[in-house]
Amino acid sequence: MRLPSEIEADRRGDAGAFGSVGEFAGVGAVCCSLATRALLALLAATALGFSAYLAWLSLSGGTVAGCNGEGAFDCDHVLTTRWSTWLGVPIALPAAMIYGSVLATVWFLGPSVPTTVRRVAWTVVLTFTAAAALAATWFIGLQALVIGHLCWPCLATHGSGLLLAAAAWAAVFIAARRVGTPLGGSAFVAGGIALAATGVLVGGQLAYEPPTFRIDRGESPRVADANKSSVADAAAKSSTDPQPNGSAGASSERTAQKPPLSRILHLHKMTTTLDAYEHPILGSPDAEHVIVKLFDYTCHHCRDQHFQLEEARRHFGDRLAIVVLPTPMNRACNAFVSDSGSGPRAQACVYALLAVAVWQTDRTKFEAFHHWLFEPETPRPIDDVRARVREIVGQAGIDRADNSLEPRQAIEKYTNLYGSLGKGNIPKLVDANFVIDGRFRDAQQLVEVLEEEWKPAQ
């Protein structure tokens, strides 16, 4: 039981080791009931759970369950914008630390806790919950007004944080009024610290735009030399080999020079090779630069990069060709992803099978079909895609997609390549010297990156 002198000291503001700021010291006189502490702990645990989930996704490169890009909800888009990090650190990590700290601290607000300890606990709870509420308001506004897409676990985290702040501040003011302890100074101190912390958060995000893509370089000279040798060998072979049937995409100049029957592509840090003539390709297999793209027809960022790469092809002309390997992010045909998704992603394997079937049935029709699939802002209905396949290559294309092993074997090879490249984000761009995954700001940034990568060594 607390002595009357202790209560009077709290009301006078005898702060002890914390100084003589009367109102701030008085917060130590305030305690919470078990029910109130349980409510605060529940809200903190909820916010911690969602923020920890988001942090894990940021570090593992996973996708958000039940958020497939339909309508306003596109979690992958939200979580790969500049606003998802602070100075390069996933914003969910400090959020999880804040909510974890509140969860641990609320249990020190009970009546059996010494006044000095309780005073510190209230300072932590009020400051951290106020900061969480201000940050939640900032991020909700960004999603609604700047990003233009929503992320349900983000909103769940922010909603829990707002409720937690409201409950904590209401509890302290109600309890303070009950014991007659003014908390004006305490509220201003906690609010001021929280406002300053939010200013640092916002300022850091505005001042620093982290890269949205990653480049893995540094393959062995042996691989690079092998790639150059294969191109030289292929060029020598072209003087005697005839033009292969169905090698669509070669320029008239290359055709006149009788391009080779194969173009072996060595991939970064891998023993795996690909023949540019044997897989779906945009442009000439004999181009100076042939890069490999792993993508999903239902992926939002893959759709953006498609148009960026088309601008890059216009920039580089016939020097650039792109081997496009459909790599569905669907567990039904890709063992390296965790779920089959919903909405368009649930049909990702079917889109890929139909595209590969078109390539295998009539290569001259593939490029136009590939562009057609990416034209709308969202994936076309699968029935429309099947009708289009039937229109351009006949029932043979549908039969190949539905019944033949060839398209499935091709997609299995592409998904295995995705696994060998470390899984994670798509789209991925690969050649002998680099792997680039993530997204570019615009086509100009993509062109600048490729020009830098292909610049001759000094």
pLDDT at 325 over 90: yes
Give residue-wise pLDDT tens across range 188-237.
888 999 999 999 999 999 998 887 788 888 644 434 444 444 444 444 34
Give residue-wise pLDDT tens across range 235-269.
434 333 333 333 333 333 333 344 457 899 999 88
Question: What single DSSP character describes residue 352?
Answer: H
Q: Which pLDDT score is estimated for 271?
A: 85
Asked if omega into 210 is within 30° of 0 (cis), the reply is no
Strand-strand pairing, 281-282 and 320-326: antiparallel
148, 153, 154, 156: CA torsion to nearest 10:
110
Look-up: residue for tokens 């802002």?
377
Q: Which pLDDT score is estimated for 428?
A: 94
**Average pLDDT of span 26-43:** 86
Q: Where are the beta strands (DSSP E) in 126-254?
A: 213-216
Average pLDDT, the chain: 82
Look-up: residue for tokens 């991925």?
428
Residue 212 burial (C-beta neighbours within 10 Å; 0-12, 13-18, 19+): middle
pLDDT at 440 over 70: yes
Structure tokens belonging to residue 378? 């969202």
Q: Which pLDDT score is estimated for 74?
A: 78
Q: What percent of the chain has pLDDT over 90?
A: 55
Structural contact between residues 172 and 183, judged by C-beta atoms closer than 8 angstroms? yes
Structure tokens belonging to residue 168? 């904590």
Q: Which pLDDT score is estimated for 345?
A: 82
Query: Rounded to an integer, what distance in angstroms lies between the CA atom of residue 84 and that of residue 212?
Result: 10
**Average pLDDT of span 417-435:** 90
Q: Which pLDDT score is estimated for 412?
A: 96
More confident residue, 182 or 252: 182
**Average pLDDT of span 136-154:** 92
Q: Which pLDDT score is estimated for 61?
A: 65
Query: Rounded to an integer, what distance in angstroms lies between the CA atom of residue 106 and that of residue 50?
Result: 19
Q: Which pLDDT score is estimated for 70?
A: 57
Q: Which pLDDT score is estimated for 338?
A: 77
pLDDT at 321 over 60: yes
Q: Which pLDDT score is estimated for 233?
A: 45
| Predicted structure pTM score | 0.67
Give residue-wise pLDDT tens across range 48-99.
999 999 998 887 766 676 665 555 677 877 887 889 999 889 999 999 999 9
Task: Give the list of residues 6+ apart from residue 256 with CB closer than 8 angstroms, or none.
Answer: none
Query: Rounded to an integer, what distance in angstroms lies between the CA atom of residue 292 and that of residue 432?
Result: 10
Q: Which pLDDT score is estimated for 68?
A: 59
